[in-house]
């Protein structure tokens, strides 16, 4: 299971939110490169980079930060937030993204999202499945759609999607543990490579997610609040290559 730390960006700074609420914004570091290099120094190979300004503005905003992290580290970066057009995706990949994540676009403009799958390949395009209750949430989690999670995932699997990041919004940033039951449902209902996200609070949760079959796990606030140390992540990575 891949360990994927997260950096969420507002005004080019490393921040975290609780349950996706922008009013809960907390700045942890004004230098995302410093944070990314600290991850890299501990053997981390992947990074989940979220453009929260982009999610709110509905177009890519923090691509210069993406470019900086991509050129100054060896991290393989999955970039999401505000990718709403062909030009947004072109900028993301040209700025160094190894993968992009599309969530809202997959709900509101499915033809465009499917075109990205065809153009770039399923290994480059991750389906974002942010869920509120049992339905998909969009636009920086400010809206809840009428798309049921499992139906949404199954439909896109038929269109060639292979990877999904699923975040239970009620868990995100709360440090109360991930949505184990939800992930079990997804893994039983689909053959997608599932990247768990939201609520990770303790190192001991990682083996359980791995045993369930999660392909990756995104860890954010637990790192910044010291609930999971970088040394603990380094130990996990070295023991689970």
User: How big is the chain, counted in residues?
Assistant: 241
How many percent of the chain have pLDDT more than 70?
A: 98
Q: Which CATH number fits domain 2-239: 3.30.1600.10, 3.30.930.10, 3.40.50.720, 3.20.20.70?
A: 3.20.20.70
* For the chain, the helix, strand and coil percentages under 3-state DSSP, each to the nearest 5: 40, 30, 30
Q: How far apart are CA 136 and CA 143, in angstroms?
A: 9
Give the pLDDT confidence score for residue 230 in this predicted structure: 96
Please name which of 67, 75, 73 lies closest in space to residue 51, comparing C-alpha atoms. 67
List the beta bridge partners of residue 78.
Answer: 48, 99
Mean pLDDT of 185-189: 97
Tokens of 51: 């453009």
**CB-CB neighbours of 191 under 10 Å:** 9
**Catalytic status, residue 8:** yes
Indicate the pTM of the whole model.
0.94
List of E strands, 68-124: 76-80, 99-102
Distance of CA 228 to the CA centre of its chain: 18
pLDDT in tens, 28-51: 999 999 999 999 999 999 999 999
Q: Which of 51, 130, 168, 172 is catalytic?
A: 130
Q: How far apart are CA 63 and CA 66, in angstroms?
A: 5
pLDDT in tens, 88-138: 999 999 999 999 999 989 999 999 999 999 999 999 999 999 998 889 988
Q: Which of 8, 51, 78, 168 is catalytic?
A: 8
């Amino acid at each position: 299971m891949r360990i994927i730390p997260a950096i969420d960006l507002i005004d080019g700074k490393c921040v975290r939110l609780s349950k996706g609420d922008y009013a809960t914004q907390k700045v942890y570091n004004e230098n995302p490169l410093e944070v990314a290099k600290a991850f890299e120094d501990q053997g981390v190979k992947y990074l989940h980079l979220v453009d929260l300004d982009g999610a709110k503005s509905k177009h890519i905003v923090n691509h210069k930060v993406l470019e900086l992290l991509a050129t100054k580290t060896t991290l393989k970066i999955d970039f999401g937030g505000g990718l709403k057009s062909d030009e947004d995706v072109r900028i993301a990949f040209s700025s160094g993204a190894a993968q992009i994540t599309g969530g809202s676009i997959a709900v509101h403009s499915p033809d465009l999202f499917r075109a990205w799958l065809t153009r770039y390949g399923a290994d480059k395009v991750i389906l974002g499945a942010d869920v509120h209750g049992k339905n998909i949430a969009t636009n920086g989690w400010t809206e809840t759609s009428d798309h049921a999670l499992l139906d949404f995932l199954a439909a896109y699997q038929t269109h060639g999607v292979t990877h999904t990041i699923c975040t239970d919004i009620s868990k995100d940033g709360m440090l109360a543990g991930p949505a184990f039951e939800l992930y079990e449902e997804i893994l039983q209902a689909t053959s997608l490579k599932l990247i768990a996200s939201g609520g990770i609070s303790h190192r001991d949760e990682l083996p359980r997610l791995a045993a369930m079959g999660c392909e990756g796990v995104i860890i954010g606030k637990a790192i910044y609040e010291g609930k999971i140390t970088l040394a603990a992540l380094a130990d996990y990575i070295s023991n689970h290559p």
